[in-house]
Every structure is written in C-alpha cells, then in structure tokens.
Structure 1
Amino acid sequence: MSFPRQHLLSAALATAFGAAVTTWASVAAAQTPAPAAAQVFDVKLPAQPLAAALNELSRQTGAQVLAAGEVVSGVNAPAVSGRLTLQQALDALLAGSGLIAVRNGPSQVTIQRASGAAAGASLPAVTVQATSDAATTEGTGSYSTRSTGAATRMGLSLRETPQSVSVITRQQMDDQNLTTLTDVLRQTPGVVADRLDERVKFTSRGFELSKMIDGVPTLSFNSVAGEASMLSTAIYDRVEVIRGAAGLLNGVGDPGGAINLVRKRPGTEFAGSVSLGAGSWNRYNTEVDLGGSLNEAGTLRGRVVGSFTDGKSFIDYKKQREEVFHGILEADIARDTVLAVGYERQKTGIKGANFGQAPLFYSDGTRTDLPRSFNSSTPWSQWDMTTDRLFLNLEHRMANGWKIKADASYTENQRDRIGGDIWLWPSSVDRLTGETLLDQGNNPAKGTNKALDVFATGPFELLGRTHQASVGFNLNRYDYWVYGSNSVPSSSDQVLVNINSLRWVPQPAFVYPAFQFGEQVEEKAIYGSTRLRPTDKLSVLLGGRMSWYTSNAWSGNVSDGVGGRTWATPTKENSVFTPYAGIVYDLSKEYSVYASYTDIFQPNTAKDASNNVLDPRRGKNFELGIKGEHLDGKLNTSFAVFETKEDNVAVVDEGALPLPDGTIPSRAVQGARSKGFEFTVAGEIARGWQVMGGYTYHAKRDAEHELLNTTYPRRLLRIATSYRLPGEWNKLTIGGSIAYQSGIYFDDYYGLGRVTQGGLTLIGLMARYDFSKQLSGSLNIENLSDKRYYAGLGGYNGYTYGAPRNVWVKVNYKF
C-alpha cells in the first residue's frame, strides 16, 4: 500500500466517522500470539488458484490466513483432501511453490516466501489478510459463490446445503446493471417481483420472502414505514436467496424463503472506484467506493460507499432522487477478534409518486386504453423514504476452530407521503366524461427496529469423525406508527376530477387529523443445528428453533386532538418449536442428492378487513433434489422438487376497501398447498463465460383445489450471462439476460371483467470494454424488443406497466 493512498482513505473515513481509530490500532498491535493448537479437519480442496484455496481452507478450518497479494498472485494450488491438521493442509497446498506457512497464533498463519525463512532471517510482517469468508464474491468475477451460511449458519457450499439457494454476486450486479433489489430479484430463479405502485412484493413458490441483512433477520420492512424494493445494491457484496422455508436458524420462517443482503466489507489493500452513469429519461448516477487499511499494521480497515442518482421516468411528471451512504470500520482488537461498526443511510424521494394503480376498467365495464406514460396520481404526490441503520458485529475465532459472532443493529425508517390518487374501489372512472374520484391525504409513517443475533459455530469430534454444529439466539423488536390527515374534517377526503387533467389538480392543505395507529412486535428465538458426518459421503443435518412472539396493536383517538392510544388484546405465541431435518449423500465427486423437511411457523403481518392481524401461518415444507459441483467448484447446478402445505395463508380479500394505511386487506386460507420443481445453474461454464439461470414451475392451490395467486406466473425462466472474448478481443465482454414468464390473469373485484396477459419474454443486452486495467465503459439495454407489459396486475384492482426499452451507459475507473 502506498503512503499517499493510505492517508487519502484515512482522511475520507475520518470525515465519516470521526477520529477514534488510533486507540483501536494500539490495542490490536499490543496483542501477543497464543500457543499453536493442532486439530484434525476433514479437508476437501479442488485444484485452483492459491488465493482461492487459502480462502476455502479458512472456511473449512476456521483459521485466519495472512497473505500479501503479490506473494500468492499467479500461484496455483493442487487438489488436497483427507483428514489433516491445518499445517499438513498448508504444506500440501504450498508444496513446490517456494512459499511457507508461518504460525502466528492458535488459528492464524502467514504465507511468506521461503527464502528469508530458510536462513533463519527475521521475516517482515505481512499485513494483507486473505479473506476468511469464502462466500465473498467481490473481485472473483464469478456468478456463483463457494460458500453460504444463509440457510444453516454453517459455512457450507451450495452442494452441501440441502435447500435451494441462489446467489446474485457483485459481478452479476455490475454486469447486468442491477442497481436496486427489485432489479436483482427479477433475475433470480424462482422469484416473482410483483409491482403494486412504488412498492414491490417478492414471492417464491407462491409465498412471500422474508428479509435478512448479513444473515440477521429484520422486521424493518414489515410496515409501510420501510420498503425493501427501493434498496440500492451499491453497498452489497451479494444477495443470497433461499427458496423454501428458511426459518431453521434465523428466527423467522416464511415458507417462500428469505432474502439475505450481505454488505461489502473492507479489505487490507487499498482499493476504490469511481463511476459515472447516464440513461434514458435524463437519469444519471455517480458512485464512489473506497476501502483499505488505515494503519501500517493493517489491523484497522475501513470502507465508504456513496451513491447519488437522479432523473425522470417514462411515466408523466414522475421524478426520483436517491442518496446512499455506507461506512464501516473494522479493527483487529485481538489476534483472533475482529470488531466492526458501521452506519448506512438511504434516502429516496419520488415526485409524482403512485399509491395504487391505474384503472383497468371504466365504471361501465369497458376496458381502458391509457398510454404507457399515464400517471394515476397528481404531480404533487410525493413518496419520500429514509432509512438510517447503525450496526455492530464482534467476531472471535477460537483455537479449536469454533467461531463466536454477535450482530446488533438499530434501524429507523421514515415515510413522508402526500398523495392524490385515482380511486379504484370500485372503478370510479366515467368513460364518456372522464370524471373520476381522487383520493387525497397526508400519510406519514415511522418505524424502529432493534435486532440482536448471537451464535457460535464450529467443528467437534464424535466417534472418531469431525462434525459441525451451530447454536444461537435471536431478538427482534419493531415499533411502527402511522398517521393520517385530510383536507376536510371527514374520514374520507375525495374530490371529483377529470382523469385527463390530473396534472392541474391543486394541492390542498391537509390540516384535519383523520387517524393514527401502530404496533409493537417482539420476536425471540433460540436455534441450533448440527451437521453429522457418519461417513465421508453422508451428511445429516438436524436442528430446530424455539420461538416466542408478541404483538401489541394500538389505535389513536384523533377526534379530540389528543391522540390517546387504545390498545388491542395482545397476540402471543410461546415456545413454538420448529424442527428441521436434512440429508445429503455424495453420489460422486460432482453430484450429491439431498432431502429436507421443516415445519413452518410465521406470525402474520397481513390484516383482515376489520384491521385485525391474521393468525400465524403454520405448515410443513418438503424438498428433494440433486446438486452438482463442476469444474473444481466454479459451476453449480441443481434440480429440486418441492411441496409446501400451510394454513392461515394471507390472500387478497376481493372487494374489501383499503385499510387506513392504504394497504389491501387479506383473508386467511386454510389448507393451501404449493407444488413444483426447478432447475438452476450458476457459475463459469467455460473460460470467461459466466451464467446464472433457472427454470421454475409451481402451482399454489387452496383446499378446494382452486388456483391461488392467479396474477403470479406459474412458469419462470431466468437467464443472465456474460462472456469475455478471447485473444485480441479480450478487452470486450458481451452478454445479456432473458426473462420469461407464463400467462397470468386477474378478475376485477367488482365483477367488471377479467384481464389476461399471455406469456412474456423480456430481453436485455450488455457490453463492457476495458480501455485499461483501471478504466472501462459499459452499455446496458433493457426490454430490447420494447414489450408493453404489466409489471403488476390486480394489486390495487388495477395495473402498473413495466418500463419500455431503455438504455444505460457507464464509465468506471478503478484505483
């Protein structure tokens, strides 16, 4: 690391966090190495570059490996397998390379050139740490990962995990210009992204997906105060998506699965980038990303990411601005202990924002034929979302290979919303005159989420074999508040306007309080699992969690201006046990078969027409499949069949009016069942050719075999790919994406008719040219054939159009 770069980054991070770094550096430097410890591990490493092999060995043994980039660059490691100590595995990896492993502590080694050591010389300290997280995708250039702990808390490969998991890597997000979580999930196999308005609902196998950040569950998106679909991907290394019940170790159990957002972390070498982008509808973006060591010893590291986006939309008079900041400091406060603290902020402001959808029918039952650019809300309608999140994690690695980790976070969400939106309950649009009702109001919301997760994971010996275990505790507390005010002293604030003149409707003053309500939710869980290895080919995973859940809802009396709270009867669930079982059997070096089962318990957040929360969802999830790991782990494939049975499934209550917060009421369905199968592929299929894709079929029906969720496609095909050309053309990378979905339909809640959309295929293209090692330019085209299609249908008894063909160009410079 050069002197100027180190001080440049130090100044940037000091501005963001303040100057408290010197003390941490001193504490880290004062640590002394502990005696070496020997333990036997089941090591299984394919032939691969040495840097990747060291990362994988770190994952399998829990050790920290320190290695300068220039020391291991260009060195390949042989395949190594067997029951070995850490030193034996390192000796095998380094044989013939001219490198040696020097023990620094009980679970820390340094990779050095052998020349200085052979003569007994005092070797200089190497301050660059190879990441011990084999799941990190940044800098790998891959569309896959070698490890994930999102489903089990144990760092397992995709093949070792007995559930369906897809990972959208940093490389894929950059190649395909996936700048929001919505963009990511539209390219994820088996996931439906259904747009309501500014909000998007994510489902898999017919069920919603819960949210996690760095593996820790969060309830911060469980009310209108927070919206996950607006999240920028600028601050994330990868997005992991578990399909099927994901409640084994994470304190939640949505049957659809879970989305795990994994933040970028600082490295020890200085690295950074600056990018400028521009696109259709006068959109532009600038992004800065800097990270690296803040002291000479490399014991203090930091990273900052900043992004600013602004521009218009294909929808009339709609504009959106986005500001993103992510900062993190990471310190080695002891030789085997790392403390990280960070702060992130995202602010999204939308003018001409939609709450609800455009009308499908006129009031006489005639279909509408509005332009794609039609805006169903007024220009003064706004939707501003702000999220501030503080997080801290502490990780300690023990000499016996165990790791203890604690994660804590505090999140504040705030929504500021003023709107004038067309009323569609039922359709109020007169076909002849164009007159319609405009629903008006001021509807802000706030929410806070406190989350804590503490777990330990590592190997243990039993009957002469090495196994793995994980045990932990999780706590989530969420409190939200919604307030409403009108321009008239009435619970309803609606005016008659012309649908063709919304841009000229004046904004009223919302001075009359209309309602207020909120909820306090607490979820606690203890969880544990073990991966037993009766034989080298067989793995048995057993586990479960015990959950406690409390919900206290309240409403406010606003008529007298005091706003006192009236509490409803609390909802409580105590000591609910959710078991999990999985089995994986290796058929060969490349293929394994698996089966898994888990119970489902998930408190509902959906409310019925009386504004009461539905009873918790309960059910069972089964999955059976085969997974492949090819080309030394560079390519992963899977095929799975699945079935989910569940009671108290929330489905839209057709014909019911929206609730005070604007959400749609639901009703509970008993005996819902979802069946299907899927095939996925991810990684490098040939040198320079990356692919992520999958085909999914599912059908979700109630106890009477009636099809549920008819606005969600039953068949999905997702393919994204990039290819770096060989030879003299190797500066050019080309690729794109294909997204196919089968037909959908929606029946108007008030009997005006059925709307059908047939099978849909969307095509995207990308190209990137590397002018140098530092400078590159890229081009992305979305919806190449300019299809006119519904991105959301029936969510508010209307529709939302998807974006027409659009272009994005970007220039990126790397330090």
Structure 2
Amino acid sequence: MSNTHQTQNKRYVLYLGVMLLVLFIGQQARAEDDEALSLEPIVVSASALKVDTPTQETPKSVSVITEEELQLHAPQKLDETLRYTSGVTSQPYGSDNDTDWFKIRGFDAATYLDGNRLFRDGYYTWLLEPYGLEQVEVVKGSSSILFGESPPGGAVNAVQKKPSDIPHGEIRLQAGTNNHKAVSFDVSDSINEDGTMRVRVVGMFKDEDGELDGTENTRHYIAPSLTIDATEKTHLTLMATLLKDDGVPTNPFFPAAGTLINSPHGTIDPSTNLGEPDYDKYERTQISLGYLLEHELNKVWTVSQNFNYGYNKLFLRSSYAFPNSNPSSTTVSRGIVFRDGENKSFTVDNKAVAKWETNRMKHTALMGIDLQYHKTEGDEQDNYAFGTINPYHPVYGSYTPLDPANNIDRDITKSQASAYSQYQLKLDEKWVGIVGGRYDWVKTKNISEKNSQDEARTDKEFSFNTGLMYLADNGLSPYVSYSQSFEVLSTIDPTTGELYKPLEGEQIEVGVKYTPDFMDGYINVALFDITQKNALVTNPSTFVATQTGEVTSQGIEIEGVGQITKSFKLTANYTFTDAKTDDTGGKGTKQAGLIPRHTASAWLDYDATDIGLAGLTIGNGIRYIGESKDSPASSDLTVPSATLWDAMVAYEIDKNWGVQLNVNNILDRVYIASSDYYCYYGQSRSALLSVNYHW
C-alpha cells in the first residue's frame, strides 16, 4: 500500500471521528430527557490502564474478561479465555499444550501479569493458569505509553487472584475428555482479628492428554498471596506463583496436502502425531515473586510500586513435519527443535497518580519510572534433517537422536529504563481529554560464543498518545485517539550481522461507546488503522529476512454486553480485520496469513430462577471464524470458514455444592484454524465436568 493511500485512509478516519463527535453532540443537544430505568450499569475497570478509570470513559478499546466469565467458560489455557473477545484471533495454531497463541488486530500480542511483562524469547514463553486469575484485560492497539516496548496490536494483562475482604473457600474436582483429571482449591481468609492481614492460596493438580496421539501434560500449580493493611492509607500485597509442567509436546504442524487440499491418499487424521512421541519431551518450571505497595499521601496524591521477579526454566525437544508440495507423496521430511535453558526477569514500575478538581474540571496526572531487565541463556539446536514419516500411516522410530556436541550456546539480555507521564482532563462531566508521552532507553545483547556472535545495540524511543471523548447524556460517547508503539527484536539480521532495528507502530482509532439507560450493559464500536514499519521481509531467493517491509491492519470491532432481562445476559461481538503485508515473495502487498477478515461470536446465559429452577444456569455460545489466507509468500490457498457451538450448564445444588458441565465444539467440527506454510487443525470437541464444594 502506498504512503499516499495510507495518509488518505488516516485522514478519512480522523474526518470520520470529527463527524461522529459533531453528530452525537448535536443529537445530545436536541435530545429530550427520558426517564431512566432503575438498573445499575455494568462498570468495568482495567488495572492495565494504570489509573482507576471506567473503560467506558476511556478513549481507547479495552475488553475485560471477568472472574464470573472465567468460571462460566472454564478455560484451560489463557488463549481459550479470549475466544469471545472482539479483535482477538485466538488459537490460530490450534490447541498447543506448551504455548498460548493469540493475536490482536492482526499482530502478535505481549502478555503481562499484574502489569509486569512476561518476556518471550523464541520458545522461552510463559504459561498462565486461568484458575489462578480473577480477570483478564485486553488493551487493544499501540500502547507503548503504558508498557514501553510492545507490539502494535495490543497487550493481554492477566490479573492474579489476591486476598479478598470476605473469607471464602472452594474445592473443585474435574474430569473430561482426553483423560482430563484435575483437583484444585481456592481459599481466602483473615489471619488476624481485625482483618488487616488476609491470605489467599490457590492450587491445582492437573493431568491430561494432548490433541495429538501420544502427547500429554501433567501440571502442578500453587499461588499464595498475602495482603497487609499497614495503615488505612498503606497497603502491601505479596504474591507468588509456582507452575510446573511435565509432558510430551504437541506439534501441530501439518502439510496442506491431506488437510487443506485434496490428496489421493485421503485425509490426515487431526489426531495424527507427526513427531516422535517417545523422544519428544517438554518440561517447564515457572516461578514468579512480586509485590504491590500502595500509599495514599494525601487527598490528591497516591504512590505505588509494582515489582515482579520471574524465573522460567525450559527443556524442550520437539520434532515436527515439513509441508509437502507433492500431494501424491506419502512421506514428509521432518525437523526437530531443542532448547535447554532458562530466563530471568526483573520488573519494577514506580508511579504516582494525582487527582484533583477545579471549578468545572477534574484532573488526573500520571507519572512513573519503569525499569525492566530480562536475560535468557541456554543451549539450542535446530536440525532440519530429522528423517521422514508417512502422515497417513505414521511409523515411529526412524530418526537419529540429537548430538549434544552440535548444541549452540545463546545468551540474550534486554534492559529497559523508562519515564512516562499522562494527563487526563474531564470538563463539565462531558469532555474527556488525554495526552501522554514516554521515553524508553533499551539495550539489547545477543551472544553466542560457538557462533562467534556478540552483538549489542541501544535504542532510544519516544512514544506519544492522545485522545478525546465526549460523554453525552444519552449514553453515547464518541471518541478519537492516536497512539504509538515500538517493539525491540533480540535476533540478528543475517544480512548485516547486527541486531534488527525496532519495529515501529502507530494507530488511529475512532469509536463510540454506548451505555444505555434502558439496559444494564454497553455497546462499543471501534474503527482502527495500524501501521507497522521496519517489518521483516524474506527474500525468496536467499530466505534471509531484512527490514524493508510494512504491515498494515485496518478494521472495525463491535462488542456488546447486556442484561437483556433479569434472566438473560448476552455477550456478542463482530470483528472485520483487513491485515496486509508486503512479505509476499515479491508479489506486492497481499492479505496477511493467519488472520480471518471476519470473526463473530455470541454467548447467551440463562438464569432459570424465574421458572422455579433456582440455581440452574444454562449458557450457549456460537463462534464464527471467517476465511483466512495462507501466508502470501507460501501460497494463495484459502482456509475455509468454520462455525463452532459451545455450551455449559451449571447447577447450584445447595449453598455449598455445585456441578457444571462445559462442552466446546459440541458437533466436533473438523476444521483448519489457519495456515502459514504449515496448516493447523482447530481444537476438537472437549467436555469438562466440574464438581465444586464452596463455603
């Protein structure tokens, strides 16, 4: 797409934003006062925004998955929690048992735990246990003002369960498909008489098979936390988690022949393991330790410090199949990846928030200093000649074990120091304006003695954001915003022998947030236009990636939550994403792979109390995943759309006992989730029965 075309699109979005503001201000001026119904509105806040502001009064798209929704959907992985969230492509690579996969507005997304970055270097990723979370927040679009270096599509912030003011406890037993077995507990209580010291312990043991034959995983998880109210104005929360996984990894890479396109040999079964189940191995040990310290200085100023130490040790030996360009062939070649190492990270965010009022105005000032350090070190090996296998009738054992002498050492460090500030003004309870800036200093090193590599670079980046929103009396709140992002790469450019330059992103967003007075709920509409520069483009002749590309993503998101009646609650969303890339093997600008142009979902909860069945809740959900494309540098194949049906039923037997059944993909629809040179089957039918005892 030409720069002129992009500029025209951005001007169009800005013009549209101004028109929306004028239109709704005019409508508000002409509107008559209507008698409001006695319904309390749904008020949602996101801690990732760093200031306590309802998301409906923020000129930026934010979606929140609440603890109630987590309980109803019973997700087993973080990416499963995002299936009913607008703007998110969840599990594009199918159900992977050692990695969470999701994209926001066409781009990879960063993951945070209570606002602390969970760093990722290649296969060294973090996994979060959904049972240990009280909320999941999705901040969409470029957000470097909040997080520093991060992808342009957005970020997912997971909020860990913390001690509650009201004592409670739960023990849960689960059984389900794929030999799923789990026992978990969640207990929160005071440990002194005046309740100023409260503790919570969340734990789980889980064992289950993977989607592919011969894959499995066993998880141990525990997360204690302690809150101390030192004074009425000073609060300290200590948090820790330990997660340990041990199993055989899924390798969801399938060739197009026999999956997406016809083969004379038939269709490859979705459960086929094209790796080596007796040789592949996956072990992970994760530890996080942190605290949140808050102190109210006076009626205006509040200061806080958020600290986290993360440790992630990984052993991964995972073989996989390569695609086969010949549909008549009955063999595919295989490769294998080996990683044995650990990463450590320290993050500390120091911030001060001031809130005060003058005449017709409410002011909120945010200032902070953010420090981050991340280090990954270990041995690695990639072998692209790990034998062959018949994908239609696999026979295992035809391979040569990896030779440790071929391992390569790798040492990657990233240090970030940041200063940020943001000012928010609310005028006459009608206008909300935001402006902010952040300066980041990032130093990156990538060292391998065996490869004779010792590269380092320092990047200094300034990020800017601004937004304007109008809060009309009729509940309509049009807004327009602009934000920037940058993402630091820790890999080396083979062409220059130096570290890649940061990816740079910017976003213009125009939207309307509607909180009607006749219904407990909201409807949000957002149009976005994202551009990422310095994107990697692979030369089709040399297969070397250089930074000459540009990725764009434009689209619209519509999401709504509404308590339609006392018994029915509806959550629905629709997303159109036009993601384009010029990493096409010299074919010009094409639709980017993996990202459906259209997605939609709806979930309806029914409380049967009014018909005399108190305690019974029934939920039904539909997910539509529209057509997507293979990565254009690989082929012009189209991945067909798929519609999936999910459901749940829960029954509270009495004040202590309850049962719940969740079934996803009820009809066991076999579908391809996406394609990017490889093809990936979507998750098959899963059923999960939970028995809960709570007090």
Q: TM-score under structure 2 normalisation?
A: 0.86
Which residue type is aligned with residue 494 of structure 1? F
Seen in structure 2, the aligned counterparts of structure 1 residues 772 and 465 have a Cα distance that, compared at 3 Å, is same
For 2:411, the equivalent position in structure 1 comes to: 518
For 2:664, the equivalent position in structure 1 comes to: 782
Seen in structure 2, the aligned counterparts of structure 1 residues 633 and 252 have a Cα distance that, compared at 3 Å, is farther
8 Å CA contact 2:238, 2:291 repeated in 1: yes
Which of 334, 344, 352 in structure 2 is aligned with 1:456? 352
Mapping of residues 3-402 of structure 1, within 5 Å = 145-151=43-49, 153-193=50-90, 194-195=92-93, 198-216=98-116, 218-227=117-126, 230-351=127-248, 353-355=249-251, 357-361=253-257, 367=263, 369-380=267-278, 381-402=280-301
For 2:688, the equivalent position in structure 1 comes to: 808
Residues of 2 paired with 1:725 and 1:149: CA distance?
33
Q: 1:273 Cα shift? A: 0.4
SS in 1 for 2:81: helix
For 1:660, the equivalent position in structure 2 comes to: none
For 1:678, the equivalent position in structure 2 comes to: 557
Q: 1:187 Cα shift? A: 2.1
For 1:636, the equivalent position in structure 2 comes to: 522
Which residue type is aligned with residue 695 of structure 1? Y
Residues of 2 paired with 1:758 and 1:437: CA distance?
26
Mapping of residues 609-648 of structure 1, within 5 Å = 613-631=499-517, 634-648=520-534
8 Å CA contact 1:285, 1:310 repeated in 2: yes
**Any gaps of 5 or more consecutive residues in structure 2?**
1-35
8 Å CA contact 2:592, 2:632 repeated in 1: no
8 Å CA contact 1:278, 1:808 repeated in 2: yes
Residues of 2 paired with 1:473 and 1:708: CA distance?
39
Note if 1:470 corresponds to 2:357.
Answer: no
Q: Deviations over 1:547-600 (max 9, x none)?
A: 111111111228xxxxxx7411x22112x2211111111121522111111123
**Any gaps of 5 or more consecutive residues in structure 1?**
1-45, 50-78, 80-141, 559-564, 658-664
SS in 2 for 1:503: coil
8 Å CA contact 1:220, 1:413 repeated in 2: no
8 Å CA contact 1:732, 1:767 repeated in 2: yes
Q: 1:453 Cα shift? A: 0.3
Which of 454, 459, 469 in structure 2 is aligned with 1:567? 454
Q: 1:668 Cα shift? A: 3.4
Residues of 2 paired with 1:731 and 1:609: CA distance?
62
Which of 334, 337, 340 in structure 2 is aligned with 1:444? 340
8 Å CA contact 2:121, 2:376 repeated in 1: no
Q: 1:619 Cα shift? A: 3.3
Note if 1:765 corresponds to 2:647.
Answer: yes
Q: 1:290 Cα shift? A: 0.3
SS in 2 for 1:159: helix
Deviates more, 1:393-402 or 1:776-785: 393-402
For 2:472, the equivalent position in structure 1 comes to: 587
8 Å CA contact 1:386, 1:414 repeated in 2: yes
Note if 1:596 corresponds to 2:481.
Answer: yes
Seen in structure 2, the aligned counterparts of structure 1 residues 787 and 496 have a Cα distance that, compared at 3 Å, is closer
Which residue type is aligned with residue 581 of structure 1? T
SS in 2 for 1:557: coil
Q: 1:542 Cα shift? A: 1.1
Residues of 2 paired with 1:165 and 1:187: CA distance?
14
Note if 1:535 corresponds to 2:435.
Answer: no
Q: Deviations over 1:52-79 (max 9, x none)?
A: xxxxxxxxxxxxxxxxxxxxxxxxxxx9
Which of 622, 627, 630 in structure 2 is aligned with 1:738? 622
Seen in structure 2, the aligned counterparts of structure 1 residues 531 and 687 have a Cα distance that, compared at 3 Å, is same
Which residue type is aligned with residue 782 of structure 1? N
SS in 2 for 1:334: coil
Seen in structure 2, the aligned counterparts of structure 1 residues 252 and 484 have a Cα distance that, compared at 3 Å, is closer
Q: Deviations over 1:378-437 (max 9, x none)?
A: 11211222211111121112331432110111101111112333344xx398955x4443
SS in 2 for 1:298: coil
Residues of 2 paired with 1:756 and 1:556: CA distance?
43
Q: 1:505 Cα shift? A: 4.5
SS in 1 for 2:44: coil
Q: Deviations over 1:131-184 (max 9, x none)?
A: xxxxxxxxxxx9x65322423x21111211111111011111111122210101
8 Å CA contact 1:178, 1:233 repeated in 2: yes
For 2:595, the equivalent position in structure 1 comes to: 712
For 2:11, the equivalent position in structure 1 comes to: none
Residues of 2 paired with 1:209 and 1:668: CA distance?
20
* Paired-residue identity, %: 23
For 1:547, the equivalent position in structure 2 comes to: 440
Seen in structure 2, the aligned counterparts of structure 1 residues 782 and 516 have a Cα distance that, compared at 3 Å, is same
Residues of 2 paired with 1:48 and 1:232: CA distance?
38
8 Å CA contact 1:420, 1:438 repeated in 2: yes
Q: 1:346 Cα shift? A: 1.3
Q: 1:478 Cα shift? A: 0.7
Seen in structure 2, the aligned counterparts of structure 1 residues 177 and 219 have a Cα distance that, compared at 3 Å, is closer
Which residue type is aligned with residue 122 of structure 2? S
* Aligned alpha-carbon RMSD (Å): 2.9
SS in 2 for 1:494: coil
Q: Deviations over 1:530-554 (max 9, x none)?
A: 1112322111111111111111111
Residues of 1 paired with 2:590 and 2:292: CA distance?
45
Mapping of residues 406-417 of structure 1, within 5 Å = 406-417=305-316
Residues of 2 paired with 1:653 and 1:724: CA distance?
57
Residues of 1 paired with 2:380 and 2:372: CA distance?
27
Residues of 2 paired with 1:208 and 1:422: CA distance?
24
Q: 1:497 Cα shift? A: 5.1
Q: 1:743 Cα shift? A: 0.6
8 Å CA contact 1:219, 1:478 repeated in 2: no
Seen in structure 2, the aligned counterparts of structure 1 residues 48 and 337 have a Cα distance that, compared at 3 Å, is farther
8 Å CA contact 2:592, 2:631 repeated in 1: no
Deviates more, 1:498-507 or 1:524-533: 498-507
8 Å CA contact 1:347, 1:387 repeated in 2: yes
8 Å CA contact 1:145, 1:167 repeated in 2: no
8 Å CA contact 2:343, 2:377 repeated in 1: yes
Q: 1:654 Cα shift? A: 6.4
8 Å CA contact 1:145, 1:169 repeated in 2: no
Residues of 2 paired with 1:705 and 1:591: CA distance?
41
Seen in structure 2, the aligned counterparts of structure 1 residues 163 and 800 have a Cα distance that, compared at 3 Å, is same
Which residue type is aligned with residue 145 of structure 2? L
8 Å CA contact 2:347, 2:373 repeated in 1: yes
